[in-house]
Structure 1
Amino acid sequence: MAFKRLSNSLKRWSRGGRVIDGLKALSALRFEVSHEALLRWTALLLTLLIAMTVRLLPIRWAFYLSEFDPYYQYRLTKFLVENGFASWTSWHDFMGWYPYGRNVARLSFPGLPFTAATLYMILDALGIRIVLPPTLDPLLSDPVFNFCVVFPVAMGTISCLAIYFLGKDIGGEAVGLFSALFLALNPSYIGRTSLGFFDDETVGIFGIILFMIFFLRAVEEKVSFKKSLLYSVASGLSL
């Protein structure tokens, strides 16, 4: 009986033309994509996938930070996450430069730890954490550590996307695609943005690319004064 009532109600609903009107409304939402645009975005997505895959290759050996500086950068980031950004100005670190310690605010670059801590807090507020299976290793049990390990891969991939827009502004779509591909496969840049290499270059190169994008757009003659001012401010903040 329930099935019969449901079928009858569907018939009455369709007779009223609601189904046809609904389908017409859905058809109006279609996005027209040319073959050229489809090919272009496919090439860009493949380039970004290659960039990410190449930088994830060190996971074959271990999921850890590599070299010494990344561990210090991780410690700075963890301190900011636990104590807040204001604590940076008053932090005298006695675990380095024994026995006198060091004034962190005067002697350490804030760009990477502040950026990483901000992004971690945003993702943590959204309920997104990088949690590995249970382990006795205290580092791998720390979500901040896991975030710092993956951070270089994400920034390297995003930088390839950013340089695509820079190349596009300078010489068109082809220049943008080749720029992204060259940066994705650049050996020096891969070494500095591979899994676990949590150091200043991860945000430094990205900031330079952003600065160039906003600066070039700010000095364009066809741009209005308001947009030029906004691009100028954005280029300054990118530094």
Structure 2
Amino acid sequence: AMYVLRQLLLFLLFLGKLVLLAYVCLRAYRIRLHAVNTYGMVIHEFDPWFNYRATEYLAEHGWKKFFSWYDYMSWYPIGRPIGTTIYPGMQFVSVWIWRAMEMIPKNKYKVPKEILSQVPVWLLDYFPNKGKFLAFGPMSLNDVCCMVPAWFGALATALTFMLAWELSESSTAGLFAAAVMSIIPAHIMRSVAGGFDNEAVAVSTFCAVLWLWCRSVRSLRSWPFGILAGLAYIAAAATWGGYIFINNMIGLHAAALVGLGKYNSSLHKAYSLYWIIGTAGAMRVPCIGNVPLRSLEQMPSLLVFAGFQVLELCDMFRRRQKTGLTARRYFLFRVLVFTAFGAAGAGVAYVLAELGVFMPLGARIRGLFLEAVKTGNPLVDSVAEHSPANESAYQSYLGSPRFLAAIGLIFCWHQKTPGKFLAFLYAVVAYHYSLKMSRLMIICGPIVSVLAGFPVGVLSDWCTDQMLNLVSRQPEEAQAEAVPQRTGGMGSIYRGLWWVAKPLSWP
């Protein structure tokens, strides 16, 4: 009976968290409506107006003419080839939403006063039209474009919940992370209604990619999620140029797992599926093309992919050996194989570089690593958002949650999921990038929210468990899914640092 009571309490707690998550997403949406509530359905700022103009053209002429469109009114009198210079993801999503809403019949229902009288006054503020009537039907393209940032702001909040839950194994941590994400200025500044800009949609896709990638490496059987991660990456690449950050971030995380001796066939499948599907899809975006195979700034993820194939070949060779190989011999075998492939790859790269196949680093990317503030590009240097960030910027855009996030980095050590390394790496890289370019403060929003949820969630769950144990002891957990023995080679690095790295190992 006490066990049943415990399960009932857990179920009620789960329902309560779902209600709170819905409330947090609703608040995230309503906060971002301030501009349209004050000034009406008006798109503001220069870039959003250009994006709206492109969306209008797409809706009127279709995608074939859109990708061959040369707009003489943009950058007048020079003009601009829209199809090959724009990330079209946001425009396509907006047109799809607009056309889907066109199929909804227009209806208007008046809510009886008897029902309204039973609803608390403060709750009516959360209903459209103060709850007096409910209206359903088509929206104009202008109104859809105005609302897309707010809609995706709420979606990013929900996806932050999923990402934090996956990294921390705590739904409470995810709930607090979503609450922070809903109000953190680093995200709000790019997701207010009327601010029809690429980042408004891109942050949601970034959170989706990171969540699905971490889900794909959770266990030995979760590698199929790498397919979904690749599909989400295609959406990210089609939406904003910051997709390079996410791509290299996942490559860095995969390489770090190998360095810690956590390589296995499941990790190989997950990353290979993600990279092949994601890269193939991204190359279909006209403004990207074959850049993932030529650009130096995207070489890290390509090198990780190539390295994973060599690692898997070595493992396949070892599995086919009837007598088996000792760890020492297998390590030397890997060194020889990697040396051979590395030498061959270096020779091919040298020839391709001489032929001019590789593209140099972009001006913005160089600005993230070079000490000089000026990049040499007048267009880049003239934008204030490209200047380095300072303490006041961190206070304005990240506020107090950044201090909780610093504590959350310590709690990463407590977790047992391989995704926790991504949280640490993401935090370090995002902090470095935002120091160099204040515009990239936007990528700090999700990770600060996630890490801020770690200490709150872990401590809250511990307190909840103590209270539930007063009702009934938790039954013994089933045996965790076995993780294969490390395959040697890079695993020897893990053994060399065993006493330091032991708390990081999987159970």
With the shorter chain as reference, the TM-score category is 0.7 to 0.9
Greater CA deviation, 211-220 or 175-184? 211-220
Q: Give the CA deviation at 1:220.
A: 2.6
Going from structure 1 to structure 2, the CA distance change for 1:44 and 1:111 (only over 3 Å counts) comes to same
Q: 1:107 offset after TM fit, Å?
A: 1.9
Deviations 1:38-81, CA, capped at 9 Å, x for gaps: 21112112211211121112234212112111111111111111
Counterpart of 2:181 in structure 1: which amino acid? Answer: L
1:46 and 2:23 are equivalent in the alignment: yes
SS of alignment partner, residue 196 of structure 1: coil
Deviation at 1:158?
Answer: 1.0
Larger deviation, residues 170-179 vs 96-105 = 96-105
Deviations 1:111-150 (A, max 9, x none): 2112212222222234479xxxxxxxxxxxx811111111
Amino acid at match of 1:73: N
Give how far 1:234 is off.
Answer: 2.8
In structure 1, the partner of 2:96 is 118
Q: Secondary structure at the match of 2:190?
A: helix
Within 2, Cα distance between the matches of 1:127 and 1:192?
32
Match of 1:147 in 2: 144
Q: Aligned-pair distance for 1:219?
A: 2.1
Aligned partners of 2:97 and 2:144 also within 8 Å: no
Instruction: Tell me whether 94-103 or 205-214 shows the greater mean CA deviation.
Output: 94-103
Match of 1:230 in 2: 227
The CA deviation string for residues 61-111 of structure 1, in whole angstroms up to 9 with x for no partner, is 212112111111111111111111111221010112233421111222212
SS at match of 1:212: helix
The CA distance in 1 between the partners of 2:106 and 2:159, in whole Å, is 24
Q: Which residue of 1 aligns with 2:56?
A: 78
In structure 2, relative to structure 1, the CA distance for the partners of 1:188 and 1:174 (3 Å cut) is: same
- Opposite residue 83 of structure 2, the aligned amino acid is A
Structure 1 CA distance, aligned partners of 2:64 and 2:15?
47
CA separation of 1:219 and 1:34: change in aligned 2, threshold 3 A = closer
| Counterpart pick for 1:58 among 5, 16, 35 | 35
Match of 1:98 in 2: 76
Contact (CA 8 Å) 2:209, 2:229: kept in 1 or not? no
Q: Distance in 2 between matches of 1:235 and 1:148?
A: 22
Question: In 2, distance between residues paired with 1:73 and 1:91?
Answer: 14
Identical positions, percent: 24
Distance 2:198 2:231 in 1: 20
Alignment check: 8 A CA contact 2:213 2:226 kept: no
Q: Which residue of 2 aligns with 1:13?
A: none
* Whole-angstrom distance in 2 between the partners of 1:88 and 1:51: 33
2:446 — aligned with what? none
Unpaired segments ≥5 residues, structure 1: 1-31, 130-141
Match of 2:190 in 1: 192
My pick for the range that moved more, 199-208 or 107-116, is 107-116
Go from structure 1 to structure 2 and tell me whether the alpha carbon gap of 1:229 and 1:206 turns closer, same or farther (over 3 Å shift).
closer
| C-alpha separation in 2, matches of 1:86 and 1:215 | 33
Match of 2:469 in 1: none
Gaps of 5+ in 2: 1-8, 108-138, 237-507
Residue type of the alignment partner of 1:147: V
Relative distance call for 1:224 and 1:159 in structure 2 (3 A) is closer
Separation in structure 2 between the aligned mates of residue 218 and residue 169 of structure 1, nearest angstrom: 11
Cα distance in 1 for partners of 2:21, 2:79 equals: 47
Equivalent position of 2:219 in the other structure? 221
User: Contact conserved, 2:89 with 2:235, CA < 8 A, in 1?
Assistant: no
Task: Report if aligned partners of 2:215, 2:222 keep a CA contact under 8 Å in 1.
Answer: no
Amino acid at match of 1:117: V
What is the DSSP-based 3-state SS (H/G/I as helix, E as strand, rest coil) of the residue aligned with 1:222? coil
Greater Cα shift, 192-201 or 51-60: 51-60
When the two chains are superposed, the root-mean-square deviation of aligned CA atoms in Å is: 2.2
Deviates most, 227-236 or 67-76: 227-236
Greater relative contact order (Cα < 8 A, sep 6+):
1
Aligned-partner Cα distance in 1 for 2:233–2:37:
39
The alpha carbon displacement at 1:200 in A equals 0.5
Residue 45 of structure 1 aligns to a residue in which SS? helix
Q: Which runs of 4+ in 1 moved over 4 A?
A: none
Q: Secondary structure at 1:221's aligned position in 2?
A: coil
